[in-house]
Structure 1
Amino acid sequence: MTATDVAREATAPGPMAPRPYRVVARRQDTHDTATLDLIPLYGEQTRWRSGQFMMLYAFGVGEIAVSISGGALPGEPLRHTIRDVGAVSHALVTSRVGDVIGVRGPFGTSWDAMDAVGGDLMFIAGGIGLAPLRPSILEAVRRRGEFRHVILLYGSRPGEGFLFTDEIEDWERNHGFTVRQGVRAGLAEMTSREEFDPLRTLTLACGPDIMMEVAAKTLVGKGVPGEKVRLSMERSMHCGIGLCGHCQLREAFLCVDGPVFSYDQLVPLLATEEL
C-alpha cells in the first residue's frame, strides 16, 4: 500500500484503515530513540486518552503498536516516542520532516490519572516507559493544585539515557514534583523509601515487566490498594481490536482490555501458566 492508496481510504469505515499523517517535527531523544510529531493530511486530529496507543504504519515495511506520548491539547500534533528495535521501528525512527506514515487508532484503555485528585499521584517509569506516562504527567502539571504530592521515579539502564530531561527539570523546579532518577535496578528501592499516603495514592507504572512487578508488590506491601496500582502491559499487538490473538493473555486481550490494567486485574491473569 502506498501513501496515495492510504489517502484514498482515509475516510473508509472501520478501524483497520490507516489515515495518512505527515511528520511535521522530529527530535532525537537518545542514540536509538526519536520523537515524531504528526498531523493528519485530511480531516481533524484524532481524539485520544492518555495511556492509549496507535498502530503506526511505515509504507512498504509494516506497522507496530506505539503508545501516544503527547498532543492532547487542541491544535497540537500527535506525538509518538519510538525506540529503534526492529525493521518497522527503524523505518519510523529514521523518518524525516515531510514524510507520510499511516496511523490507526486510538486503541486500548487509559490511565485515568485524575482519579488521584485530592491525594498523591506517583509515576514509575523504566526507560522508554516514560513516554506513555508523559500525557498524564503533563495533565498533572496543568492541574498541579489538585494533588497533594506528585512523585516521579524514573530508572534507565546504564548508557541508555533519559527521555525528556529538560521537561523533568521543569516538573521538579517549577511544579513541585518530587523526582528520583537512577539505574533501573534501583526503582524498587526508590519506591520503598519514598514518602506518600498509601490509602490516598494512585500509581501509574510503565516499563519492563519485572520492574513493574517488583514496584507493584512493594507498593501493595506498603498498603496501596491493588486497584490503585495501574500498569501498562505490552505484547505483540497486530490488529488493535482483539481479533488476531497475538496479544492474548489468558482470557484478556491487551489491545482491548488493556494495555492499562490494575494490579488486582493482572494477578489472576498471571497466576496460572498459559498453555
Structure 2
Amino acid sequence: MTDPKNPYLPEVATILETVQETHNIKTFRVRFDDEAKMKAFTFEPGQVGQLSAPGIGESTFVINSPPTRMDYLQFSVMRAGEVTGMLHGLAAGDKVGVRAPLGKPFPYEAMKGKDIVFVGGGIGMAPLRTLFLFMLDNRADYGDITLLYGARSPADMAFSSELPEWTSRKDVNTVLTIDREAEGWEHRVGLIPNVLLELAPKPENAVAITCGPPIMIKFTLEALKKLNFQDEQIYTTLEKRMKCGIGICGRCNIGSSYVCVDGPVYSYAQLKALPNEL
C-alpha cells in the first residue's frame, strides 16, 4: 500500500509462504503487518507493486493473485540480476516492503460478454494469472475462455501445481505446450505461436491477452493478426519497464508514454502508436 504523503515509503509485510516454481522463478505470498491496511487494500487485475527488502533494493512485479482472493498478495520473481537474486534468498517469516497498487489494470469491465484468449509463455503467465483467476471467479460475466500456456520444457512451467485444475475445468479450454518432446509429457508440443494458429480462436467479439518473452510476443502478435484479430483486440503488459512506479524518475518512458502512469497494460493499437523500443 502506497503512503499518500510519501509514495516512496513501502508498507511492511511478512512473507507467509514461498513456492519454488522453476529453477529461476520463486513465488512469494505476503501479507501486510498492519491488519487494518491489509483489510482496506484494494487493487485491480494487471496492477503491480514494488517489492523490496532492506539492503537489497526494490523491483516491480505484477500482483498475480486476484482481487477476489485476498488472504495474501502474491508476487512471482524471476531471478535475473542482483535484486531478484537476493530476493530469492528470502524465506517465510522474512520482512519485505510493498508499494502498491501501481499502474493501470486490464480493462476487464470492457471485456465482459466477450470471448477471452490468454496466451502466456514462461514467467509471462504471472500477469495473466491474476486476470485469468479473476475471470474464473466471475465466470458468468465472460464468454468462452481459452488459455494457451507454454514453456521450453515442463520444468520451465510456472504454477505447475495449479495446471491440473485448470486443464480439468469444463468452463475453460486450457492448452499446455512445450517447445520440444519430453518424457512423460501428455500435452501439446510446439512453439506457442504455431499452436495458437492450430487452435485458431475466432476474433469475433473476442479479446486476446498475451505476455511472455519478447520473441514469443512478437510472433504471437503476428499469429493473432493472421487470425484477423484487430490491434484494439490485443493487450499486453510492460511492467518490467517500470522503475519508480509513480512516473517521477522518467526511466520508464516510451516516447511520450510513461509506463508507470499510462501502463503497464497497453493495447497493441496503443503500442503501435509509440516508438518501437520494446
**What TM bracket, shorter-length normalisation?**
0.7 to 0.9
Q: Is the 8 A contact 1:127 1:160 kept in 2?
A: no
Residue by residue, what CA displacement relative to the aligned partner does 1:51-93 show, whole Å, maximum 9, x if unpaired? 1111111210111011111052364111111111122112222
Range that drifts further, 159-168 or 37-46: 159-168
Question: In 2, are the aligned partners of 1:199 and 1:225 still within 8 Å (CA)?
Answer: no
Native 8 Å contact 1:66 1:80 kept in 2: yes
TM-score by length of 1: 0.88
163, 166, 169: which is aligned to 2:161? 166
TM-score by length of 2: 0.87
Question: Per the alignment, in what secondary structure is the counterpart of residue 91 of structure 1?
Answer: helix
Question: Contact (CA 8 Å) 2:56, 2:87: kept in 1 or not?
Answer: no
| Structure-2 residue corresponding to 1:31 | 23
Tell me if 1:189 matches 2:188.
Answer: no
Conserved? CA contact 1:141–1:171, under 8 Å: no
Matched with 2:129 is 134
Give the Cα separation in 1 of the matches to 2:164 and 2:43. 27
Equivalent residue letter for 2:14: R
Which of 1, 4, 13 does residue 21 from structure 1 map onto? 13
Distance 1:175 1:166 in 2: 18
Equivalent-residue separation in structure 2 for 1:236 and 1:165 (angstroms):
27
In the alignment, which residue of structure 1 is the partner of 2:52? Answer: 57
Within 5 Å, give how 1:74-93 maps onto structure 2.
75-93=70-88
| Percent identity between the two aligned chains | 28
- 1:96-245 counterparts in 2 under 5 A? 96-158=91-153, 161-183=156-178, 186-245=191-250
Deviation digits for residues 88-120 of structure 1, max 9, x if unmatched?
Answer: 112222211111111112111112234333231
Q: Which amino acid aligns with 2:214?
A: D
Counterpart Cα distance in 2 of 1:148 and 1:236: 31
Distance of 2:27 and 2:251 partners within structure 1: 26
- List alignment gaps of at least 5 residues for structure 1: 1-9
> Residue 160 of structure 1: CA displacement?
5.1
Cα pair distance change 1:11/1:263, threshold 3 Å: closer
Cα distance between partner residues in 1 of 2:116 and 2:158: 20
Check the 8 A contact 1:141/1:175 in 2, yes or no. no
Deviates more, 1:30-39 or 1:231-240: 231-240
Unaligned runs of 5+ in 2: 180-189
Query: Match for residue 185 of structure 2?
Result: none
Deviations, residues 96-148 of structure 1 (Å, cap 9, x unaligned): 11111111121111122343332311111111010111111112222334433
Cα distance, 1:212 vs structure 2? 1.5
Alpha-carbon distance in 1 for matches of 2:250, 2:266: 18
Q: Distance in 1 between matches of 2:76 and 2:69?
A: 20
Instruction: Report the equivalent of 1:44.
Output: 37
Cα-Cα RMSD: 2.2
Deviation at 1:159, TM superposition (A): 6.8
- Cα gap change, 1:232 to 1:244, in 2 (>3 Å): same
CA distance in 2 between counterparts of 1:52 and 1:166 reads: 24
Amino acid in the other structure paired with 2:174: V
- Greater share of helix residues, 1 or 2? 1
CA contact (8 A) 1:67 1:131 kept: yes
Q: 2:271 aligns with which of 236, 260, 266?
A: 266
Instruction: Give the corresponding residue for 2:183.
Output: none
Deviations 1:17-47 (A, max 9, x none): 1110111111111122111111111242231
Go from structure 1 to structure 2 and tell me whether the alpha carbon gap of 1:13 and 1:220 turns closer, same or farther (over 3 Å shift).
same
